[in-house]
């Protein structure tokens, strides 16, 4: 399937069916920490980039298996880019709500919430997770490198408006990169802006996987903990979660591994976590794919990452 992936074990959402609305990489940002690669279509135009009926047909094929559906915790709308640029997002959310009782989550950069059509499209979701990495214009431009259509004041206004209209869970993700958007004045501005947005909670993150730019550096755990203390709403630091019982490796999982790595480079532990596998067989499967020339290994911050070998 081209547009759906998983189910994968998501740190924050549980066992999640991913629905990817865009091919890489259509976005109105070009974040320095992006795991997907450089933005190839840098645009603010909302369009039906992929036929909505094609995505819905794939969803229906997955939902036809009652056992697969039963195991799911959530359906997550995402994209290899910014999913709210796809004009079919509202129809896809509503279709999922009609066809399943599972909650629907949306991962978005939140920059188009000033558009009433986008806000209306997202109202049927259960969990909306937008980003806001900076509340000072200069830091916002440094970390997110947005298109001109997304000035920071408009982005913040959209995030506040949506909070007033949306009754579901509203989790605001903030990713901090060392020396870019973590200075005291950045944290003060973020605290004040988050207090205006009033999300259900803040999810604090830092650079983890190989970023687009080598100067996108992570904060340490103590630095993240110190940053968390600035906020007046509940804050969750996104950390590894390893509590689920692992399943034995199945040979068929090689295709799931390749599908996952096509979206972003991962460590063996990431793959084990996402696919609910033991680490040792996940590593063995990855090494086998390296030997067969399907994957390459790179080292970033002392960790080994696997990614598909480019054709
Ligand atoms: S908004 Fe997301 S997809 Fe777009 S550049 Fe930033 S991290 Fe990458």
Please tell me the predicted confidence (pLDDT) of residue 6.
Answer: 83
* Ligand 1 pocket: which of 23, 28, 39, 77 to mutate (most atoms within 8 A of CB): 39
Residue 292 CA to ligand 1 center (angstroms) comes to 31
Q: Is the CB of 36 under 6 A from ligand 1?
A: yes
20 DSSP β-pair partners: 78
Q: Is the CB of 143 under 6 A from ligand 1?
A: no
Q: Is the CB of 78 under 6 A from ligand 1?
A: no
For residues 294 and 292, give the distance between their C-alpha atoms in angstroms, rounded to a whole number: 6
Peptide bond connecting 7 to the previous residue in cis, omega within 30 degrees of 0: yes
Residue 70 CA to ligand 1 center (angstroms) comes to 31
Residue ranges per domain, the chain? Answer: 4-239, 243-311
Residue 78, helix vs strand vs coil: strand
DSSP secondary structure, 246-286, as one string = PBPP-TTHHHHHHHHHHHS-B-HHHHHHHHTB-HHHHHHHH
As its CATH architecture, domain 243-311 has Orthogonal Bundle (1.10)
Please tell me the predicted confidence (pLDDT) of residue 276.
Answer: 66
- Whole-prediction pTM value? 0.83
Please tell me the predicted confidence (pLDDT) of residue 141.
Answer: 97
Give the CA distances from residue 22 to residues 82, 84, 88, 99, 132, in Å, rounded to whole numbers and listed in that order.
8, 10, 11, 22, 21
Return the residue whose CA atom lies nearest to atom 6 of ligand 1.
31
CB of 190 closer than 8 Å to CB of 174: yes
Mean pLDDT by 10 residues, the chain (311 residues): 84 91 95 95 96 97 90 94 98 97 97 98 98 98 95 97 98 98 98 98 93 94 93 86 38 71 84 76 85 87 85 65
Please tell me the predicted confidence (pLDDT) of residue 248.
Answer: 40
Q: Is the CB of 39 under 6 A from ligand 1?
A: yes
Residue 2, helix vs strand vs coil: coil
Residue 74, helix vs strand vs coil: strand
Please tell me the predicted confidence (pLDDT) of residue 283.
Answer: 86
Integer-rounded Cα radius of gyration of the chain: 19
CATH code reported for the domain at 4-239: 3.20.20.70
Please tell me the predicted confidence (pLDDT) of residue 249.
Answer: 41
Please tell me the predicted confidence (pLDDT) of residue 251.
Answer: 46
Q: Is the CB of 34 under 6 A from ligand 1?
A: yes
* Ligand 1 pocket: which of 23, 24, 34, 263 to mutate (most atoms within 8 A of CB): 34
């Amino acid at each position: 399937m081209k547009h759906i992936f998983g189910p994968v074990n998501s740190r924050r959402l549980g066992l999640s069916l991913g629905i990817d609305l865009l091919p890489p990489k259509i976005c109105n940002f070009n974040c320095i920490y992006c795991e997907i690669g450089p933005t190839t279509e840098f645009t603010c135009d909302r369009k039906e980039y992929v036929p909505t009926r094609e995505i819905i047909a794939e969803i229906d094929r997955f939902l036809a298996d009652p056992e697969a559906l039963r195991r799911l915790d959530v359906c997550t709308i995402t994209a290899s880019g910014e999913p709210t640029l796809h004009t079919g997002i509202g129809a896809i959310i509503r279709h999922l709500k009609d066809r399943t009782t599972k909650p629907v989550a949306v991962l978005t950069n939140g920059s188009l919430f000033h558009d009433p059509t986008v806000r209306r499209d997202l109202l049927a979701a259960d969990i909306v997770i937008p980003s806001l990495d900076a509340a000072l214009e200069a830091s916002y431009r440094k970390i997110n490198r947005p298109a001109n259509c997304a000035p920071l004041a408009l982005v913040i206004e959209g995030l506040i408006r949506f909070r007033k209209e949306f009754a579901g869970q509203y989790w605001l993700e903030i990713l901090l990169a060392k020396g870019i958007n973590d200075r005291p004045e950045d944290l003060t501005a973020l605290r004040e802006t988050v207090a205006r947005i009033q999300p259900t909670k803040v999810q604090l993150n830092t650079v983890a996987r190989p970023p687009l730019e080598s100067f996108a550096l992570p904060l340490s755990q103590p630095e993240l903990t110190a940053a968390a203390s600035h906020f007046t709403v509940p804050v969750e630091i996104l950390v590894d979660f390893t509590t689920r019982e692992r399943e034995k490796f199945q040979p068929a999982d090689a295709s799931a591994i390749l599908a996952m790595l096509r979206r972003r480079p991962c460590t063996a532990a990431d793959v084990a976590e996402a696919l609910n596998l033991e680490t040792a067989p996940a590593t063995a499967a990855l090494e086998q794919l390296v030997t067969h020339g399907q994957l390459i290994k790179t080292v970033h911050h002392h960790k080994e990452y696997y990614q598909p070998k480019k054709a």
